[in-house]
Structure 1
Amino acid sequence: MSRPLRVIFAGTPDFAAESLAALLASRHDVVAAYTQPDRPAGRGRKLTPSPVKALALEHGLPVFQPATLKAPEAQAELARHEADIMVVVAYGLILPRALLAIPPLGCLNVHASLLPRWRGAAPIQRAIEAGDEESGVTIMQMDAGLDTGDMLLVRRTPISATTTGGELHDRLASLGGQAIVEALDALAGEGLDATPQPEAGVTHAAKLSKVEAELDFRRPAGELAARVRAFNPWPVAWCALGDDRLRLLMARAASPAPGEAPEPPGTLLSHGPDALRIACGEAGEQVLEVTRAQLPGGKPLAVSELLKARAERLAPGIRLGHIDEEATP
């Protein structure tokens, strides 16, 4: 068996901590962890270490938190670790070209998509939002572009009609940890073939924003259901309920009931046994069925439980969302 590799790890959130945990449990030697500086968190805005930092300290790893890696002194410090390779997972800092060349085996990235589809910041949520039937992780040899490097290893997983952003995140985080260990094992032995990314099929996964979480019920039911699932648990899809917000956590597209006349988009229709039924589409001719939701000040609940407790707030005929008065009949 070939010798274990000396590894520098760079990452910040929970997704990255899964890969670090897998590397720490492997035969390879993680010699340093790089992560974002501590950030204020919680109501008290107390400086809080990243999940990667917390795990690294738990295992006695030296932790480095530079504000940038562009400075020559930061690059010199990284070179002093004499690592064979650097593994980067959701780090949040740009790696300059000069730094990419420091480890003899370069820098590998664990990316949460099937490249070249969904390069960028939010590949997990964008895959669900777009109705993709599968996702996965790609182990990529990093270059100076944005997620443009050669692919070394790909692992796939299906996306079902009930998969949420949180569920896919956790599944891909685990898959990424397995894949990066497999990749390092191969590189320490016979190596891996590098496959250039095809030019066809490139898409960009734009960063999520809270603004886009507000639903427009004039949109098709399938599109809205996918967005609800993609944005669970963050930023969480919502709609106006009077002066409050109703948070929508699980939904599906459905057909109107037999003989049911179209209502203006956003109208609450007669309830199903386990769902709020909301008219949607340009003419209100489609139906969005919401099966899990959260009222202001309440807990996330299955709609069957929500209706038992607060049915008066969700009576059929109520209009949800911000109503365009000029377009209202």
Structure 2
Amino acid sequence: MRVVFAGTPEFAAAALEAIVAAGFEVPLVLTQPDRPAGRGMALQPSPVKTLAETHGLPVFQPVSLRDEAAQARIAAAAPDIMVVAAYGLILPQAVLDLPRLGCINIHASLLPRWRGAAPIHRAILAGDAETGICIMQMEAGLDTGPVLARAVLPIGEDDSAGRLHDRLAALGAELVVTTLGKLRAGPLPATPQPEAGVTYAAKLARSEAPLDFTKPAAALLRQVRAFDPFPGSTAEVGGVLVKVWDAQVRPVRGEPGEVLAADRNGILVACGEQGLLLTELQKPGGKRLPAGQFLAGFRMVPGDRFALPRADA
């Protein structure tokens, strides 16, 4: 089976590694064009491109798949199937129709819940008890295609988006290899997604980063974990915007935003319901630090206040 692969970040690289290791022929790898990154803003290849070049696989980096030249390049690879994982470009119908077995997508949610760009983060933010991987037959709609295979993964109480991402990437890699093996032997039953239960996982925006201490502490804790490692949750105190990377809920009461304690155990802040103990923070230009080390270079005492959202915001 000739597998054309399309993907960009680490999540996709895990799947490509597994497909290559399983012995499938990969005549072409599609990934996003190199992007500027770092202080020098030098062009950096995607994780998928780096991995593909390590294995000596041909790499194609079109800016769009809508032009005939890009489509001809894919057709020349004579794919039996295309595997797509967090690629970042829309596949027009002309591309979806190219492979003999169509295109399948590795999606990190239990469809139809959390269609779209940020399913891992949104599942944590919403307080979902579980998530998973769906291998979906692609069609023109946004993550609307029938499901060929699915695997469920519990969301742990301590799961950040980063930790959950890594577990889902490994699960997706395993499930897509199993699915490809079954497709090589013959067609698989495709289960249409139900109309009920559809939710959309919009891409995270930096405007969502500020912690609103008028909300319940449990909701803020989900935010902290959903936004780790990107974009990070922020909180303003004394006119300084700090990032909060880990926290714990505490059964305390006080005025929202009020610092109730600040010591090596953490910075305890009153919320709309209960309190949030901030245990890992980062000041501008600094590193992520445990609360005790953070306070050694950032003075804070009970009675200080974290800023609350403006009424006109």
TM interval, shorter chain, is over 0.9
Q: What is the root-mean-square deviation in Å for CA atoms of aligned residues?
A: 1.7
Unaligned 5+ runs, structure 2:
none
Matched, 1:46 2:32: no
Q: What is the SS of the residue equivalent to 2:27?
A: strand
CA distance, structure 1, for counterparts of residue 264 and residue 62 of structure 2: 54
The residue aligned with 1:70 is 66
Matched, 1:114 2:114: no
Map 1:228-267 → 2, pairs under 5 A: 228-256=224-252, 262-267=253-258
The residue aligned with 1:289 is 277
- The 8 Å contact of residues 38 and 50 in structure 1, kept in 2 or not, is answered as yes
The residue aligned with 2:266 is 275
CA distance, structure 2, for counterparts of residue 113 and residue 323 of structure 1: 32
Q: Which moved more, 1:58-67 or 1:298-307?
A: 298-307
- The 8 Å contact of residues 268 and 317 in structure 1, kept in 2 or not, is answered as yes
- The 8 Å contact of residues 215 and 321 in structure 1, kept in 2 or not, is answered as no
Shift of 1:254: 2.2
Aligned length: 312
- The 8 Å contact of residues 294 and 301 in structure 1, kept in 2 or not, is answered as yes
CA distance, structure 2, for counterparts of residue 44 and residue 304 of structure 1: 33
Unaligned 5+ runs, structure 1:
257-261
Shift of 1:324: 4.7
The residue aligned with 2:166 is 170
1:90 to 86, 89, 113: 86
Shift of 1:295: 2.6
CA distance, structure 2, for counterparts of residue 323 and residue 139 of structure 1: 41
Which 4+ runs in 1 deviate beyond 4 A?
322-326
The residue aligned with 1:145 is 141
With normalisation by structure 1, the TM-score equals 0.91
Deviations 1:174-212 (A, max 9, x none): 111111101100101144211000111110001101111
1:306 to 289, 294, 307: 294
Q: Which moved more, 1:167-176 or 1:188-197?
A: 188-197
CA distance, structure 1, for counterparts of residue 185 and residue 5 of structure 2: 20
The residue aligned with 2:77 is 81
1:320 to 297, 303, 306: 306
CA distance, structure 2, for counterparts of residue 273 and residue 41 of structure 1: 35
Deviations 1:39-68 (A, max 9, x none): 111111111111111111111111111111
CA distance, structure 2, for counterparts of residue 153 and residue 323 of structure 1: 44
The residue aligned with 2:10 is 14
Shift of 1:27: 2.1
